[in-house]
Structures are given as structure tokens and as C-alpha cells.
A and B are shown apart, each in its own frame.
Chain A
Amino acid sequence: DQQVKQNSPSLSVQEGRISILNCDYTNSMFDYFLWYKKYPAEGPTFLISISSIKDKNEDGRFTVFLNKSAKHLSLHIVPSQPGDSAVYFCAASGSRGSGTYKYIFGTGTRLKVLA
């Protein structure tokens, strides 16, 4: 049972345009969400996060939106650059009261930014 889902395995966007990556989750106990970026042969690199008490967090070209009622989050990259081409993983954590801080990851979306 996949608790974190990324339904788009791939996405292509023109350089300079907006990239929107989506993620859905099923567990209402998740209280912290993150996006990681992964290049081939490297480990995932932290990109941006959001706590469940917020609905938006922005860091430069990257913005994450959280819709708790829909159990949906999205990552917006604007403007997209060729160096953004990578696999993006959505992750969720339900640390509140559980004593564990493991991340549950989605299956990833491969973003290709075309020059």
C-alpha cells in the first residue's frame, strides 16, 4: 500500500517555463513533507520542506504547496533551468508522537528541462 504517490513518472518542460510536480499521500498522521532531488549515481539531495501547519513554503525558485484537505502537495520550479533536470522525490514523515522519523518516499518524477 503506497502511502506517498507520485503519479507522473516523467515530465518535460521548456527552459524558463514553470515545472509543477505533484504528490499525493494517504496517511493523515504525516506532519512534515519534503522534496529531494536526485542525479544519477548520487544520493538524494534535500531541496525544500513544509510543515503541516503551513500551506506554502518558498525558497528562491522553488515553492512547495500543501493542501491538507486533499492530501496533496506540489513543487513549483520557476523559471526552470536545464540543471534542474533530475529525478524528484516527494517524502513524508509522521514524527508527531511516534518516536520515529523515517521518511516515506514516493516513486519519483523524472524532470527534463529542455534548452
Chain B
Amino acid sequence: GAGVSQTPSNKVTEKGKYVELRCDPISGHTALYWYRQSLGQGPEFLIYFQGTGAADDSGLPNDRFFAVRPEGSVSTLKIQRTERGDSAVYLCASSLKGGGPHNEQFFGPGTRLTVL
């Protein structure tokens, strides 16, 4: 089916390295979200795109984290100088448009990032 896809499914990297995580939303969905889920926790909001622009980046933990969506479809989450505390499952979601009833977010399977 044409759900949200994320690549890679798993990423192991060393402390201090740079990583990119990719999200392909459902075709036609204008809203895209990134969340991070640590062990034993619920997903935690990172950033929300409406089209190409970041409408809300209040969840990005620090300036090592950055995300882009240059053509309003695929998005890339970029993490610089990774730290062990960045280890988590990074989830991407998309919705037809932003918010409210009948615009529920559909999630991808996630990328499990492990920083050694």
C-alpha cells in the first residue's frame, strides 16, 4: 500500500557522526511531522511542516537537529554530531492537511537510530 515510508529502518552510527533520516509521506498529504520515541515513552513531537515550510519546530531539542522538505513531499531529518542520548526511534507522520477531525496523522514504521 501507499503508506508513509521511512529509510533506513535501522541506523547504527558512532558518537560525533552525522546522520540523515528520510521520510516519504502519503501522496497528496501536505502536512508532515517528525516525532522521536525513546524506550518506554510515547512519541515526542519534533517538527511540523505544512508544504515546504516548517510551521512549528518547537520540539527540536537543540541546533544539532535540522529538517527540510524542499519540494513539499519527501523530508529529511538531519542530526549533526550525534550523541548517545539521540538513540531512539524516529517516527514520521503525514496528514492530508494540518490538524483537526478527519485529518489524523498516519505514521511510518520509524527509523531506529543507535548511537554507539
Spell out A's residues near B (CB within 8 Å).
4, 6, 32, 34, 36, 41-46, 49, 51, 89, 91, 93, 95, 99-108
3 A-B pairs with least C-beta separation: A101-B99, A105-B42, A43-B107
Query: Do B95 and A101 touch across chains, with their CB atoms under 8 A apart?
Result: yes
Chain B: interface size category = 20 to 34
A-B contact pairs, 30 of them (CB 8 A): A6-B42, A32-B99, A32-B101, A34-B104, A41-B109, A42-B109, A43-B109, A44-B43, A46-B104, A46-B105, A49-B104, A51-B101, A95-B98, A95-B99, A99-B56, A100-B98, A101-B31, A101-B33, A101-B95, A102-B48, A102-B58, A103-B33, A103-B35, A103-B105, A105-B42, A105-B43, A105-B44, A107-B41, A107-B42, A108-B41
Nearest neighbor of A2 in chain B, beta-carbon distance: B42
Complex-state Cα separation, A98 to B29, whole angstroms: 20
Closest to B109 in A: A43
B109 touches A103 (CB 8 A): no
Q: How far is the CB of A109 from chain B (nearest CB, A)?
A: 10
A106–B48 alpha-carbon span in the complex (Å):
19
- Whether A100 contacts B43 by the Cβ 8 Å rule is no
* Cβ contacts under 8 Å, A46 to chain B: 104-106
A101 touching B44, Cβ below 8 Å: no
Task: Verify B43–A101 contact, CB threshold 8 A.
Answer: no
Which A-chain residue is minimally distant from B104 (CB atoms)?
A46
**Is the C-beta of B88 less than 8 angstroms from some C-beta in chain A?**
no
Q: For residue A108, give the distance in angstroms from its CB to the closest CB of chain B.
A: 6
Answer yes or no: B100 CB below 8 A from chain A CBs. Answer: yes
A95–B105 alpha-carbon span in the complex (Å): 14
CA distance A42 to B109 in the complex (A): 5
Given contacts A100-B48, A100-B56, A101-B31, contact A44 B107 (CB under 8 A): yes
Minimum C-beta distance from B11 to chain A (A): 15
